[in-house]
Amino acid sequence: MKKYFGTDGIRGRVGHPPISADWILKLGWAVGRVLGVENEGRSKVLIGKDTRISGYLFESALEAGLSSAGVDTLLLGPMPTPGIAYLTRALRVSVGIVISASHNPYYDNGIKFFSSEGTKLSDQLELQIEAQLEHPMVTVDSRSLGKAVRVRDAEGRYIEFCKNTFPSSLDLRGLKLVIDCAQGATYRIAPSVFRELGAEVVEMNVNPDGFNINENCGSTFTQPLAERVRAEKAHAGIALDGDGDRVIMVDHTGCTVDGDELLFIIAKWYSETERLSGGVVGTAMSNFGLEVAFKSAGIDFLRSAVGDRHILEMLKKNAWNLGGESSGHIICLDANTTGDGIVSALRVLAVMCFTERSLQELKQGMTKYPQTLINVPIGSRTNVIDHPKIKTALLAAESQLKGRGRVLLRPSGTESVVRVMVEGQDRMIVEAVAEELAEIVKQKMGSEEKKGSDLKC
């Protein structure tokens, strides 16, 4: 069992172990020690970050820890997570390190890693790093200390990579797009990509100050984007999250197009143009309407556990090339090795250009089942399903749906909340069942709940 690593690296509140300067310093050293053994000599690591204020602190701590273990460091500065995955491969380094808490507020932060192939680290390597953390920190001889260098052209490299994933026979001329960069890592890169491909770009939330990342903006809060799209009479809106690995879009009427719908649009195009390798991977949270739509289109569909790590594992196992989550993590393995918000948006825009159809028209092939998601904050990540009364309530909730829906109850892998998700054909029943189950979870495990529901467009 891992002590620190979760489904998406290590994440928590800044200043609280393990997300503290002294612990991150030792983490850098532990990674460096493991890499030294693995590579039988000098290793090189790159570090990128999003725009939250604590990124400066942890960038320095990691650099010092790695240097003390004799590892050289390439510093990218603010860079989207998928850009770090790409540059880890392109620059032929041993490991890529991301300092980010993704869609979380500024006061959280985290560390996640990419292997030299741009994929998540293996469980074995993560366990080796955790084991090394138990040893006293010892600095190598001064002659063997690692060096640190700033990569000055990192942004330009990733911009060109993104542009090259767009079909060379198409461009974005004639499209007006509103881009919400969530005050995060894509604030300079995303507008450049879409503008250089020919689009008229209206920028939103491109002035990060270290504290405003994801604050009432981006992929988790699309209402301001929808309003701006309507006001600008734009063809579409693109909402990225703080580290750029998620995307949610808005059609020209202001209706949200979530990750499930985007995945459907891309998959159908892939299938029709013979780009789809096998089928598509979703997760336990994917809307049942997506499964129905794929069945109708003759596209195989599998569900993995929640998290892009699990999606990637299932894609590799089946030799497929497309998967994603309703949250907007979409993995196009024919382009990048991880979820990439910019690349995924470009895939959807390519379909719009190729078919000459609007985003609203393209999503019509999938009918979403009414779904309600309620996040119930809890004090610890205990397995709530083991609680007898919650287990009984879960069975009762499933019974109320009478086989015409489904219930999912799971602790988040990134936040101290339990996600209560209910979906079915009847919206009123779905909402009532979700509220009732969430109340029981709240009484037994948590405090105040946070509710969300799909947009009724």
Q: Where are the alpha helices (DSSP H) in 223-258?
A: 223-232
Identify which of 364, 368, 319, 324 has the alpha carbon closest to the alpha carbon of residue 343.
324
Backbone φ, ψ for residue 181 (5° rounding): -95, 5
Q: How far apart are CA 133 and CA 31, in angstroms?
A: 9
From the candidates 102, 326, 327, 344, give the one annotated as an active-site residue. Answer: 102
Query: Residue 74 to residues 22, 45, 116, 138, 232: CA-CA distances in angstroms?
Result: 21, 6, 14, 22, 40
Q: What is the token pair recorded at 254?
A: 């202001």
**Count of CB atoms within 10 A of residue 92's CB?**
9
Q: How far apart are CA 141 and CA 328, in angstroms?
A: 46
Q: Rg of the chain over CA atoms, in angstroms?
A: 22
Residues 6+ apart with CB under 8 A from 279: 294, 299, 300, 301, 302, 318, 320
**Count of CB atoms within 10 A of residue 129's CB?**
21
Q: How far apart are CA 445 and CA 440, in angstroms?
A: 8
In 287-416, which ranges are E strands?
A: 301-304, 322-324, 330-332, 371-377, 405-411
If you write DSSP's letter for every residue of 147-193 in order, what string do you get?
Answer: -EEE-TTHHHHHHHHHHHTS-TT---TT-EEEEE-TTSTTTTHHHHH
Residue 73: strand, helix, or coil: strand
- Nearest-5° Cα angle at 238, 236 to 240: 175
Q: How far apart are CA 238 and CA 157, in angstroms?
A: 22
399 a catalytic residue: no
Q: How far apart are CA 196 and CA 315, in angstroms?
A: 32
Residue 281: strand, helix, or coil: strand
Q: How far apart are CA 306 and CA 320, in angstroms?
A: 18
- Nearest-5° Cα angle at 96, 137 to 267: 145
Backbone φ, ψ for residue 250 (5° rounding): -130, 130
Q: Is-contact 278 404, C-beta < 8 A?
A: no
Catalytic residue list:
102
